[in-house]
A and B are shown apart, each in its own frame.
Chain A
């Protein structure tokens, strides 16, 4: 009897472990997707990203996107919302009027490099389970996601659609 129980336990254990991982992965993907969609929607509606929040805490502006959830965390991971500054450089024509002595020497002034700061959102998932990080990376590969150490990051550009 004990031997049969050991056999059943040995056979069921990997399946059970895989099922647990799948459940955690699905939950993490759902939460990331919901946060991304809610943040983009907030940006589209008000022109501002949600307020950066600590790991596991839902930004107050997007609380409605997580009914029934009080934290942005799961079994073995936590989610954080942050914003990043991006410098955008554009060349603009110099509108200054040429001095009289320069007329005839140059046709026009060189363009002026104008730098502006734009803000993007970023979702960070911190987990000691590389499987969760790899699953997230696989799901958002090519969408500005990357993994460094034990953190998965997803950059959310301001012009991105709110859909998945």
Chain B
């Protein structure tokens, strides 16, 4: 008998990045074809619940409480004949354990049951909670019966050269069931309800802090306010503009021997000033302060405040 050893690993999708060594109680691999299915280290409550679900399905099926399509292994339709004989004459009692005619007598003979099971499995895949399809549960139950249904890091399925097609189907069924169980395990949400609550609380706190900083920032975060222009400064500005405009009118008078008819004749005028010529020698300039009150410069008798204003510009030799 030719000996060959074939070891293939199923696709690992370990998001927890934990490679668990194979179990020690693996049957001897000598003279046998071996199919190894890796399973990740769970340790998670959801995974335990998943296993419990699978075991519960098995218990229920033993009690006859499950419908036939749930218990029926879809690919065991050929195994309905019971114990099969290999070409070498060896019997395969495992087929009987899977089919279990006393618990699911009709399932193997119904091809539409397989379709229904697959539809149920598709619905289950969309669920967020880890669940197993009935077919996977039945296959896992069969594995458990063989002592291989525990959550080992790797499930090694021995398949000797003498394996019958039914046995190969059974092994394939078991492999598919493991893959499906792994998928169910990985669909377990990583964030638990407690984590979500903590995250929501933190988000609320950060948002509240952001609101507080945006509306009433603490002094530490507030830079010094830029300088502002006081009302006194603005009123002084009006006085200065009036006095400087009067200087332009006087300069025009000195140059031309008369008062200007309007401020448009004057070089360098300030905006928003009203010019009134009362006589050929006298005039008035009127402006308004920020409060709307009128401020007047009378050339005949200027307000004393303009002398203070003039001093700001004449101390260095201008207009003295």
Contacts and interface: CB of A to CB of B under 8 A. Distances in A.
Given A115-B254, A159-B316, A3 B214 contact: no
Interface residues on A, range: 35 or more
A84 B269 CA distance: 9
B159 interface: no
Interface stretch (B10-18, B147-155, B167-175, B223-231): B223-231
B94 interface: no
B272 interface: yes
A120 B210 CA distance: 53
A6 B316 contact: no
B291 interface: no
- Residue from the set A21, A142, A146 with the largest chain B CB neighbour count within 10 Å: A146
B317 A158 contact: yes
B197 interface: no
B207 A3 contact: yes
Nearest to A142: B312
A48 interface: no
Given A85-B251, A134-B228, A159-B316, A15 B210 contact: no
A155 B241 CA distance: 11
B171 to A, nearest CB: 47
B234 A131 contact: no
B254 A87 contact: yes
A84 B241 contact: no
Interface residues of B, number: 44
A138 interface: yes
A82 B268 contact: yes
A88 B271 CA distance: 24
A86 B229 contact: no
Contacts of A134: 226-229, 233
A120 B240 CA distance: 15
A135 B225 CA distance: 11
A157 B247 CA distance: 14
A120 B320 CA distance: 12
B319 interface: yes
Given A6-B207, A117-B251, A11 B270 contact: no
Interface in A55-75: none
B227 A14 contact: no
B206 A3 contact: yes
Contacts of B320: 88
A137 interface: yes
Interface in A129-164: 130-131, 133-135, 137-138, 142, 144, 146-149, 153, 155, 157-160
Interface in A1-27: 3-4, 6-7, 9-11, 13-15, 17-19, 21, 25
Interface of A: 3-4, 6-7, 9-11, 13-15, 17-19, 21, 25, 82-88, 115-118, 120, 122, 130-131, 133-135, 137-138, 142, 144, 146-149, 153, 155, 157-160
Closest 9 CB pairs of A and B: A85-B251, A18-B223, A131-B226, A148-B237, A3-B206, A134-B227, A7-B210, A10-B214, A10-B213
